[in-house]
Amino acid sequence: MKTKAMTRKKLFAMFIALAQCFACLAGDVKPAPAFPGKSHAMLRLEANERFILLPVEEKTGICNISIIYDNKSRQSLNVRLAANKVDYYVPLDISGHKGREILLDINALGDVLKNGSFKDYVCWQHIRQSADFDTANREPHRPLYHHTPAYGWMNDPNGMFYNNGEYHLYYQWNPYGSQWENMHWGHSVSRDLIHWENRPAVLAPDDLGTIFSGSCVVDKNNTAGFGAGAIVAFYTSAGKKQTQSIAYSTDNGNTFTKYHGNPVIIGDVPDFRDPNVFWNEELGKWNLILAAGQEMRIYSSADLKNWTYESSFGKGFGNHGGVWECPDLMKVSSPDGKTEKWVLVCNINPGGPAGGSATQYFTGSFDGRTFTCDSKPETTKWLDYGKDHYAAVSFDNAPDGRQVLVAWMSNWQYADRVPTQQYRSANSIARDLFLFNDGGETYVGSAPSQEYLKLRGKKTLHKSFSAGRKAFTAQLPDDDGTCEIKISLDPAENSKLQFTLNNDKGEKVTVEYDSSTDTLSMNRHESGTTGFSNEFACRTAAPVLGGTLKELRMFVDKSSIEIFANGGRTVMTNIVFPSEPYKSFTIESSKKTKVKSLDIYDKTYKRP
Ligand code: FRU
């Protein structure tokens, strides 16, 4: 038995050696690493292609790779190199080193060796150079009309601005895996907020740290001296300490140069990040707001480089169930333009109404120095009551005085486990903010941005009927069930209305409106794949602000549902992972309810 097994082993080893030989002959060189230590490998190669493809296994520990030549480290990154199996590849761009002999100095960090010896890792068989990297979509859950990165992990939207007809959206991005690491600013551009083109990343980690969240402004009057119309980016350098840095672009945001005098703001608390900058007309200066622990700090500046601390806001106000992050401060008006207030957006994690991450906000006044909240300190207002609306911030310089906001559609409770691999996380549809009143309080509504109305796809259904206990069923367009559903209704008193998305596998999402309590809820317990986190299966609920539910717009994409009640006065965003698309939509009501219209629109948005 033993000898037989030995022979088989030997034969297998010979086969591998032969295969490697053939691979070499075919030009697919896989140089052998040297192992100077138990968790240390050194791999020398001549950089002759654009990329090194790195094999990733998501459930292994992290390795640090440093690219060295001429005895100097040129780049350092963290990647989960495959120990047992290859989940996917990520491209390491080495085009800048072409023709050089480079050394990859690879160190396994943490407990990576519990899977066996470093030498036995399968990655050594698979690391290779390549002229290209295939980004064709291979994810059934990838949305059709929401923004996603081509590959890799994404969290917060960053530095969004509008200029010269283009919306620029940067985002927290890991190009070396679909879990959080190596924060860069990825970059996408759109002319209509719906169709996005992915472009090369603009900011990569440096000796001050990785690149955390922040904002951009269009410096029309050249206050910083980088040029009139320069785009100036503010971000957190997340190194040993969190400090604030700037970079500027003179090609409308496609490439940035980091400012030589970074960092420009140094703090005194560990959580000190996410600078958001805007021009304050009344002050005739710039303001900057950033998160510092559980409060927001406000600064002012004439030149975007020298900042003066003005005040802090937050102690005793709103929800403090978690860290305050990603602030925004802006003026928002009522739809008729008659009322205007300052709104301080404060993303918080955890502490959200449905658990985990969420976006709260405060309304009030701001004189360029101090923000004064106009609600009682114990009042908490939420921009969205779903579980997947976080790090929401607005575009700088949006046209027509609009305040356009985009949120990351995930939750830190499970973002790194959702069932996609090529990429992780999408952004919400863009929303236009407006002010409204309810019961003596001022609230901020977020309506789907006007582009979703203007460029809507074709109507596939129009019906008016009376809903009752017997379900009314409509088929969703195409096979992918991806659409907008709009309902105008007149609910009976003390009734319960149910709107359900169903597929042939018995998976469903139920949206319920209870007119006796004016509560709107969404239930994703049976929505499809939910088992990747105990926190995922849930029912999210919200008060319907602005009176009875009269109108509901539902944006259904491959893996998300966003519902906007009464023009965006109550909003709920939840992601879902059905094993096949939802195909039908049913409406039931405990009492006869007039559905004035049910309209369904195809997901294909026109180009402007
Ligand atoms: C929010 C956040 C920010 C930080 C970034 C890091 O999701 O924690 O505060 O800048 O993510 O990726």
Find the 322 Cα to ligand 1 centroid distance in Å: 13
d(CA 504, CA 439): 43
Q: What is the structure's pLDDT at 115?
A: 58
Span from the CA of 236 to the centroid of ligand 1 (angstroms)? 9
Query: Is the shortest distance between the CB of 192 and ligand 1 below 6 Å?
Result: no
User: Predicted confidence band at 16 (pLDDT cuts at 50, 70, 90)?
Assistant: very low
pLDDT tens digit sequence for 187-238 = 999 999 999 999 999 999 999 999 999 999 999 999 999 999 999 999 999 9
Decide: 183 in ligand 1 pocket, CB within 6 A. yes
Question: pLDDT of 54-109, one tens digit each?
Answer: 999 999 999 999 999 999 999 999 999 999 999 999 999 999 999 999 999 999 99
Hey, what are 406's tokens?
A: 């985009």
Say if residue 567's pLDDT is above 60. yes
Percent of the chain with pLDDT over 90: 92
Q: Which of 156, 219, 396, 557 is catalytic?
A: 156
Mean pLDDT of 117-131: 95
Residue 477's pLDDT is 93
Which regions of 256-307 does DSSP assign to beta strands (E)? 257-258, 265-266, 272-280, 285-292, 295-301
In contact, 383 and 571? CB cutoff 8 Å: yes
Q: Tens of pLDDT along 365-380?
A: 999 999 999 999 999 9
How sure is the predictor about 22, in pLDDT bands with cuts at 50, 70 and 90?
very low
Region label for 336, one of left (φ > 0), alpha (ψ between -120 and 50) or beta (otherwise): alpha
CA dihedral sign of residues 22, 26, 29, 30: negative
Q: Measured in angstroms, how far is the CA atom of residue 183 from the centroid of ligand 1?
A: 9
Q: Strand 323-333 and strand 308-313: pairing? A: unpaired
Sheet order of strands, 441-448 included: 390-394, 404-408, 431-438, 441-448
Using the predicted structure, report yes or no on whether residue 5 has a pLDDT greater than 70. Answer: no
| Measured distance CA(233)–CA(247) in Å, rounded | 5
Q: What percent of the chain clears pLDDT 70, i.e. is strictly above it?
A: 94
pTM: 0.94
Distances from the Cα of 227 to the Cαs of 218, 249, 251, 395, 576, in angstroms? 10, 9, 11, 21, 45
Phi-psi region of 286 (alpha: psi -120 to 50; beta: other; left: phi over 0): beta
Compute the average pLDDT of residues 269-274. Answer: 97
Q: What is the pLDDT of residues 301-348, one digit of tens each?
A: 999 999 999 999 999 999 999 999 999 999 999 999 999 999 999 999
Active site residue 134: no
SS3 for 134-162 is CCCCCCCCCCCCCCCCCCEEEEEEEEEEE
Q: Give the per-residue pLDDT at 479.
A: 82
Q: Whose CA is nearest to atom 8 of ligand 1?
A: 325
For Cα atoms 174, 177, 183, give the angle at the middle one, nearest 5 degrees: 20
Please tell me whether the peptide bond between 350 and the residue prior to it is cis, using omega within 30 degrees of 0.
yes
